Chains A and B, each alone.
Chain A
Amino acid sequence: DARVTQTPRDKVTEMGQEVTMRCQPILGHNTVFWYRQTMMQGLELLAYFRNRAPLDDSGMPKDRFSAEMPDATLATLKIQPSEPRDSAVYFCASGLAEKTRDSNTGELFFGEGSRLTVL
């Protein structure tokens, strides 16, 4: 049963600490998204990768957030230094983009999320 896998599921840390969240997309998918979910804002796009290349990270605070895809099976989202306002659930999602268009054609599959609490 193919699924997007995220670690850690839960993370409690203190302000100023570095946090790294990891995502294993579904094998064969060539697009990866990072979303953040809060009660107030709902789901917000943080970053988008296609074929491991970052195409959009405009949703991320550049001074503290960074997203990478070291290889096709791993995407990372790092926060350094973390702040209380970063507390949220972070979701990774993967999908398959069309070969002829620079866009997703089909469904987006989400992981279970990483719940981050920054004290």
Chain B
Amino acid sequence: KQEVTQIPAALSVPEGENLVLNCSFTDSAIYNLQWFRQDPGKGLTSLLLIQSSQREQTSGRLNASLDKSSGRSTLYIAASQPGDSATYLCAVKDSGAGSYQLTFGKGTKLSVIP
């Protein structure tokens, strides 16, 4: 059974700092990995989707990398801003035939201090 772990559970950084959020998964046979952002009381907003054949994806100040063999993904946020404060979740979709559901981590709560 796939398990997804995000460490740390919470992170506080000063504004302007570059930071890395970590995600690890136990079964490397994945189809894709998706990073989401969740603001308090809101739904999940998709940030980046990495297919299993890709090594990284970039969107603005965000860069997500994927190392399937080691079961790891990182989300890099450059020049952090207070508006980046949110909970970030990663989710993996297994590659087995008929697989459809995402397995989520518990998230990393990020606070960017002005």
A4 contacts across to B, CB distance below 8 A: 43
A101-119 CB mask vs B (1 if < 8 Å, else 0) is 1111111111111010000
- Interface contact B45-A56, CB-CB below 8 Å: no
Kindly identify which residue among B31, B43, B101, B106 contacts A110, using a CB–CB cutoff of 8 Å.
B43
A54 to chain B minimum Cβ distance, whole angstroms, is: 12
B28 lies within 8 A of chain A by Cβ: no
How many A-B Cβ pairs are below 8 Å?
Answer: 53
The answer on a CB contact under 8 Å between A55 and B100 is yes
Query: What's the nearest-Cβ distance from chain B to residue A98, in Å?
Result: 10
| A72 close to B (CB within 8 Å) | no
Using CB atoms, name the residue of chain B closest to A39: B106
User: Within 8 Å CB of A45, what residues of B?
Assistant: 101-102
A42 touches B100 (CB 8 A): no
Q: Which residue of A lies closest to B105 (CB)?
A: A42
* Chain A residue at minimum C-beta to C-beta distance from B45: A110
Please report the C-alpha to C-alpha distance between residue A93 and residue B101 in the assembled complex, in whole angstroms. 11
Whether B49 contacts A106 by the Cβ 8 Å rule is yes
Contact B104 A56 (CB under 8 A): no
Does B61 count as interface, using CB distance less than 8 angstroms? Answer: no
State the A residues within 8 Å of B (CB).
4, 31, 33, 42-43, 45, 48, 50, 55-56, 91, 93, 97, 101-113, 115
Which residues of B does A touch, CB under 8 Å?
A: 31-32, 34, 36, 41-46, 49, 89, 91, 93, 97-102, 104-107
